[in-house]
Copies of this chain bind each other. A is one copy, B any other.
Amino acid sequence: MYKKLGDQTVKFENPPRIKGFYSIVGEKEGQGPLKNFFDMIVDDAKFGENSWEKAESKFIETAMSNAVTNAEISMKDIEYVFAGDLINQCIASNYAVRQIGRPFFGLYGACSTMAESLSLAAMCIDGGFAKNVIAATSSHFCASEKQFRFPLEYGGERPPTSQWTVTGAGAVVLSNDGQGPFVDYITTGKVIDLGITDMNNMGAAMAPAAADTIISFFKDTEKSFDDYDLVITGDLGSLGSELLKDLLTQNGFTVSSKLQDCGVKIFDAELQDVHSGGSGCGCSASVLTSYILKSMEKGIYKKVLFVATGALMNPIITQQGESIPCIAHLVSLGTEV
């Protein structure tokens, strides 16, 4: 059976279920507007480890282990782990999965990784290759600043367009049974690059990719904003979100307050000095596994489009004059609650 709709969308025959999930964030995220939704808030940026990299690995491992506990299964029931992160060579995930001890597909989708991992996990379940799998990702403010920008001790100034990498992780157990929210469609992004070269303006770079994927989904499925209660992007931030609204409006869509962004929701723009908002793989992952899924379980949202966005450059290639290629992956979630 061929499960494609249009050019980029899959409609699942037996929509996989979210059987368990878990969110864990750092101190700053735990002081923000979503503080009551997170499962764990860790005040120590090193999480008891001796480096930020090892701390990030412990964040994602904690999210994966607890998501499995919440699913009321054991780790040996997990057939595959789909995970990745921002650190060079994805070491946060690699070292976490060393502890987990299950078959592993490592991913790199930058900040789109939560939607990428969920997409592949859903294909894996619906295709009959597994009964239970994990999809997860993480990021860490200190590890990211050190790697992509400046050492923290340098105290570099952040321009107004910049975003704040979320310290946190989210993990989901996807299953072929259960009563949790289901994944009924995915739309996989193409790489879109409109020529932005400013690494401190990721929202502007990523907005066209988000628009492209959302428009493709609506075209492929013949659905519209009316069919969803919430359409939430990953980490466009306040500036990128405005650009996305413009792009969707230009393409004939009537954009309402249904269109939101995890990077805007996770921090208080006025009180927390994060400039354009949150970012990083852990941003959309921790918001999905707290605010979004918990609101769905309560019946506040019945149909959600989760659209995580990623910027696929690195500092070397932007220093060589290249622009920033971006991608957005979409996952359609639903619930009968």
Residues of A at the B interface (CB closer than 8 Å) are: 1-4, 8, 10, 13, 50-51, 53-54, 79-80, 84, 86-91, 94-95, 97-98, 100-110, 116, 119-120, 123-124, 126-131, 188-191, 193, 312-314, 316-317, 320, 322, 325, 327
Most chain B beta carbons < 10 A, residue from A51, A126, A128, A313? A128
Collect the chain B residues with CB atoms within 8 Å of residue A126's CB.
127
Question: With A314-B89, A320-B54 given, is the CB distance from A191 to B94 under 8 Å?
Answer: yes
Contact, CB under 8 Å: B191 / A91:
no
A84-B108, A97-B191 given; 8 more Cβ-contact pairs under 8 Å: A3-B127, A80-B188, A88-B316, A95-B312, A95-B317, A98-B325, A105-B109, A108-B108
Contact, CB under 8 Å: B327 / A3:
no
Report the minimum CB–CB distance from A331 to chain B (whole Å).
Answer: 13
Contact, CB under 8 Å: A4 / B101:
no
Contact, CB under 8 Å: B4 / A106:
no
Our pick among B10, B80, B106, B190 for the contact of A108 (Cβ within 8 Å) is B106
Contact, CB under 8 Å: A89 / B103:
no
A sample of 10 inter-chain contacts (CB < 8 A) reads A4-B79, A91-B313, A91-B316, A94-B191, A97-B190, A101-B191, A103-B189, A104-B189, A106-B327, A123-B129
How far apart are the CA atoms of A109 and B70 in the complex, in Å? Answer: 28
How far apart are the CA atoms of A285 and B175 in the complex, in Å? Answer: 33
Our pick among B4, B13, B80, B94 for the contact of A313 (Cβ within 8 Å) is B94
Contact, CB under 8 Å: B1 / A188:
no
How far apart are the CA atoms of A320 and B53 in the complex, in Å? Answer: 9
How far apart are the CA atoms of A126 and B316 in the complex, in Å? Answer: 38
Most chain B beta carbons < 10 A, residue from A13, A97, A103, A322? A103
Report the minimum CB–CB distance from A76 to chain B (whole Å).
Answer: 9
Contact, CB under 8 Å: B89 / A188:
no
How far apart are the CA atoms of A123 and B128 in the complex, in Å? Answer: 9
Our pick among B3, B100, B105, B108 for the contact of A129 (Cβ within 8 Å) is B3
Collect the chain B residues with CB atoms within 8 Å of residue A98's CB.
191, 193, 325
Our pick among B2, B54, B89, B107 for the contact of A110 (Cβ within 8 Å) is B89
Question: With A103-B8, A123-B124 given, is the CB distance from A94 to B312 under 8 Å?
Answer: yes
How far apart are the CA atoms of A316 and B316 in the complex, in Å? Answer: 17
Report the minimum CB–CB distance from A124 to chain B (whole Å).
Answer: 6
Query: Residue on B with the closest CB to A318?
Result: B91
Query: Residue on B with the closest CB to A116?
Result: B105
How far apart are the CA atoms of A4 and B132 in the complex, in Å? Answer: 12
How far apart are the CA atoms of A101 and B189 in the complex, in Å? Answer: 10
How far apart are the CA atoms of A103 and B91 in the complex, in Å? Answer: 25
Collect the chain B residues with CB atoms within 8 Å of residue A123's CB.
123-124, 127, 129
